[in-house]
Amino acid sequence: MSIIDAVSCMLEIYLDQTALSSYSKTFFHSKKIPRIPIGSYLNRLKQYMKCSEECYVLALIYIDRISTKHNSFVVNSLCIHRLILAAVMLSAKFSEDKFYKNSYYAKVGGISCTEMNSLEHQFLIMIEFDLYVSEKEFQLYLSTLINNFGISQNEVEDDVNKNHQEIVQEELIAKV
């Protein structure tokens, strides 16, 4: 199981505990549940965003922070895709050396650039612009994923090394 799969499982478990019936609609909530499963959506983001596995752990931390800071905000099937998109985009922008324009992230996520800009703005407000994650907090979440979803340390290192190799290859191709 990869980090992406573990994050997907963690979010699915979280969604099982939240209701669709009573919630305050926010900018993140869509009118209907997207047809793409969370795992497939995360894999699509991984394929096109080309950010490190760490970004997905950071995204999980960011989503958890929002639900902790805003008790009335219900994370459910109507908003999880947009939350994931904004969280992964912001984690990439905050922690990666290379990231893309919002228009690219919007295209990958299947929304308009205007909507992507609004999601980014609303997400930052809800998280109180606090994107910094200490090493201790990051390791706590990573350990939770490893311990609960059977990811071996070798798989984590392999995912990180594979992603690093893909980035190096892209940079070499771009230079040619």
- Return the domain boundaries, the chain: 3-175
Residue 164 has pLDDT above 50, yes or no: no
DSSP H stretches of helix in the chain: 3-16, 38-49, 53-69, 80-95, 102-109, 113-126, 135-149, 153-175
The structure tokens 């922070």 sit at: 65
Helix (H) or strand (E) holding 70: none
What mean pLDDT is reported for the chain? 85
Over residues 129-148, mean pLDDT: 93
Count the neighbouring beta carbons within 10 Å of the beta carbon of residue 46: 20
Reported as a single tens digit per residue, the pLDDT across 77-105 is 889 999 999 999 999 999 999 999 999 99
What per-residue string of b and e applies to 152-176 under the rule 16 or more CB within 10 Å gives b? eeebbeebeeebeeebeeeeeeeee
CATH of 3-175, one of 1.20.1250.20, 1.10.472.10, 3.40.50.300, 3.40.50.2000: 1.10.472.10
**Tokens for 129?**
């612009």
Rounded CA separation 114/58 (Å): 24
Reported as a single tens digit per residue, the pLDDT across 71-82 is 888 888 889 999
